[in-house]
Structure 1
Amino acid sequence: MKNETMFGGKEKGSRRRIVLRVADALSMAVSCLVAAALLLSYLAPHVDPGAVLWFAFLGMAAPFLWVADIVLMLYWVLRWKPVAVVLAVAALAGAGHVTKFYRPSPGRVYSEQKVSGTLRVLSYNVEGFFGSDSLGERGNRMDAITAFIRETDPDIVCLQEFEINRINPFGRFEDSLPEWKYKALFFRHDDTSAGGLGLAVYSKYPLMRRGGIRYPESNNSSMWVDAVVRRDTIRIYNNHMQSTQVDRSDREYLGGMKVLSDSLGEDRTRSILHKLGRNFRVRASQADSIAGRIHDGTPKVIVCGDFNDTPMSYTYRRMRGDLEDAFSRKGRGPVYTYRGLGGVFRIDYLFHSDDFETVDYRSAQPPWSDHYPVIVDLKLRER
């Protein structure tokens, strides 16, 4: 009996060691794959999706890969395994990208009051003031949005998906914002007699020269205006880049994890990935079209809008160039500007030339659109 117990214990111990070895081997394989994918994701901003598409998907996954890498590194540190060093190197190699997603600010207290002498810019995709996914449920949000603008008190307002129609005719928006008496509109079509949908800039300061680009085979566009602020002329670019075209049904499908149980999940998932891939390419082409104008050497430049792409994307890099990302300077913690796709993506931005200093950055979270507004206070540097 004693021998049977002894042999049984040895057999159980042997099985346990085998299970642990298999688990370690699988964990090691996953760790190496995560580290490799993370390192490759750092190249995503430099690779045109039109040339190699899968880098764009790695770029979108970069923050999740980084977190997974850190968790796995800590696990292997506790196990005293050398693979922890590989994971640490992968994480440290991308440390410079971290402030694109998260900016720690311990022990600081912020005020929403404007500092004297600063220029406050608000960028907001207002989703047509109704929202295309839930027109009947949400109702007209124009009055709520104009009240928010008055409360926020920006000097310059840049709006995307700005829509004028029979419900919200010309003049209604302006009547609610009498202080912002200068405006520039750039719609999808030149004929605006019945209204239109596109981009808008409203300003407390005079707007002079203006222009825009309507992107081919797309409903998206970019516009620019010159604002005369005190004695300075500031070039402002307002952009709405190609949408992901992942609609509400797609978001519910992914968010509800139906992909794991749906018998047609493979086809549906492939369709969503196809949408994302196509629009990665379209946005990259649009970014190339406008980047040459943005980075033509004009001083005192502000670039804002809904880019529909993450900070680890080709679009972000081309649009930003050598400009400063206001979030990376004065952001607080993680900031997410898009409510869809799990509400974890920052795809709305404000960049500026080094003529400006970022004084404050924040993103409020009102419920009137599928995007959140970006609000930035800037100050011209003394030369």
Structure 2
Amino acid sequence: MRKAINKIIFVMNSIAAFALLLSYLLPYVSPKMFPLLSVLSLAVPVLIVVNVLFLLYWIVLLSKRSMLSLIVLALGISHVSSLYKLRGKSMDTGETGISIMSYNVHSFNRFNWIDSKTIPQDISNLIKIQNPDIFCVQEFYNNPDIDFKQYPYKYDYFNHNSKELALVIFSKYPFMKKGSLNFEKTANNVIFADIVMPRDTVRVYNIHLQSHRISSKTNDLAKEDSQKLLKRIQVSFKQQQQQSEQLISHMRSSPYKNIVMGDFNNTAYSYVYDKIKSENLQDTFKKEGKGFGKTFKFELFPARIDFILVPKEFEVLSFKSFDLEFSDHYPIYSKVKIP
């Protein structure tokens, strides 16, 4: 009886291992060509955890079948490190550097998604305490209770498709050129500002790529029509690719080194993340992050869809994701040294 059960478990293990192996191809597969395969990127964290559990199961039984998941996980060690990091620097090291922060504030709880009346004040206090030199905000809403007066420089852009929500770059350092990429037929967008820092001028991109409009709650997901949901996600993946291509083209024309941060609405296993990161950028979480580094409140697994990417020449001193439920996203913070 036990042999029969283990055979069934190994078949399930083989399916999970193959799916994870297939996911390693995702950064190289265009969503425009294979949108259905791109959807798999959203499930990679689950596949990693499932394969780890299968690995532990076979190890306990002292079975050679443990080699299957072990080999697949080893082949995708970069995927595993994108999900969880054992060591990193989340505290200020005391070294001189530039602190940068990104936060999708979900319009400061405008429609009371969270049972709290003090969200704008809570976020304002958080920013005052962390005091980043550059602060990028997504889904900004003009709330009278917010207070970011510590920033003498501000660039906000209300997309023509969203008159109330904006992308904003706050800075302690002056701007030179600034502008917007103006994505068509969507409320999502990318803005940029050339910021004169003490050592150099850098271009900072605040990005908010196309949303999949997926509920973070398991019960709500279960109620959705699976075919309509799948079709919607495939369409948004294609839009994300088009938006990322527009962003990359703009980055390549930049006279300065680029910092890219914000809400990618996609994971570190995706085509768009890989293509943007390939522009001589490094993921600050992968350098100095610790734990899961979750950035989005998703019931199924710890989702990391917000990123701070800096030039490879920069030294990453620290990274932190704050476990604070003031939004459906969690704020992320990093300190870097410009050479």
Scaled by the length of structure 1, what TM-score is found? Answer: 0.81
Q: Shift in Å at residue 253 of structure 1?
A: 2.5
Deviations 1:233-263 (A, max 9, x none): 0110100111121246x65424xxxx4xxxx
The AA in structure 2 aligned to 1:160 is Q
Aligned residues: 338
Q: Percent identity?
A: 28
Give the distance between the partners of 1:234 and 1:345, measured in 2 at CA. Answer: 29
Q: Pick the aligned partner of 2:201 from 209, 212, 233.
A: 233
Asked if 1:160 is matched to 2:129, the reply is: no
What per-residue deviation string (whole Å, max 9, x for no partner) do you get for residues 52-87 of structure 1?
A: 123223222222212222322333345454433232
SS at match of 1:334: coil
* Residue 242 (1) aligns with residue 222 (2): no
Determine the C-alpha separation between the residues in 1 that align with 2:58 and 2:17. Answer: 13
1:326 and 2:284 aligned: yes
Aligned to 2:238: 281
How big is the shift at 1:303?
0.6
Paired residues of 2:90 and 2:289 also in contact (CA < 8 A)? no
Q: From the superposition, tell whether residues 21 and 109 of structure 1 become closer, same or farther in structure 2 (CA, over 3 Å).
A: closer
Partner of 1:67: 49
Distance 1:138 1:319, change over 3 A: farther
d(CA) in 2 for partners of 1:30, 1:342:
20
SS at structure 1 position matched to 2:333: strand
Contact 2:90 2:288 in 1 (8 A): no
Q: Secondary structure at the match of 1:103?
A: coil
Cα distance in 2, alignment partners of residues 23 and 247 from structure 1: 35
C-alpha contact (below 8 Å) 1:182/1:202 kept by paired residues: yes
SS in 2 for 1:312: coil
* 1:150 correspondence with 2:128: yes
Alignment of 1:145-224 (within 5 A): 145-164=123-142, 168=144, 173=146, 176-189=147-160, 196-224=164-192
Select which of 69, 84, 88 maps to 2:66.
Answer: 84
Mapping of residues 127-138 of structure 1, within 5 Å: 127-132=106-111, 134=113, 137-138=115-116
Instruction: Give the alignment's Cα RMSD to 1 decimal.
Output: 2.5
Contact 2:203 2:254 in 1 (8 A): no
Match of 2:86 in 1: 104
Aligned to 2:220: 253
TM-score by length of 2: 0.90
Q: Which region of structure 1 is more displaced relative to structure 2, 331-340 or 82-91? A: 82-91
Distance 1:314 1:110, change over 3 A: closer
Which residue identity does 1:177 align to in structure 2? F
Residues 133-163 of structure 1: CA deviation (Å, up to 9, x unaligned):
628x544633322221111111111111112
Structure 1 counterpart of 2:34, which letter?
Answer: V
Q: Tell me if structure 2 keeps the 8 A contact 1:103–1:331.
A: yes
Distance 1:131 1:275, change over 3 A: farther
Judge conservation of contact 1:189–1:196 (CA < 8 Å) in 2.
no
Which deviates further from its counterpart, 306-315 or 339-348? 339-348
Q: What is the CA–CA distance in structure 2 between the aligned matches of 1:366 and 1:177, rounded to whole Å?
A: 18
Is 1:125 matched up with 2:82?
no
Structure 1 residues 281 and 71 mapped into 2: Cα distance closer, same or farther (>3 Å)? same
Greater relative CO, 1 or 2 (CA 8 Å, sep 6+): 2
Distance in 2 (CA, whole Å) between partners of 1:299 and 1:99 is: 30
Task: Name the CA distance, whole Å, in 2 between partners of 1:334 and 1:130.
Answer: 25
Write out per-residue CA displacement over residues 69-118 of structure 1, whole angstroms, 9 at most, x where no aligned residue.
2322333345454433232221111012222111112xx88534x73521
Structure that is richer in helix per residue? 1
The partner residue of 2:263 within 279, 288, 306 is: 306
Task: For structure 1, list consecutive stretches of 5 or more residues without a partner in the other structure.
Answer: 1-18, 260-264
Counterpart CA distance in 2 for 1:251 and 1:143 is 30
Aligned to 2:207, what secondary structure does the other structure show? strand
CA contact (8 A) 2:89 2:318 kept: no
Secondary structure, counterpart of 1:301 in structure 2: strand
Q: Which moved more, 1:88-97 or 1:21-30?
A: 21-30
Match of 1:262 in 2: none
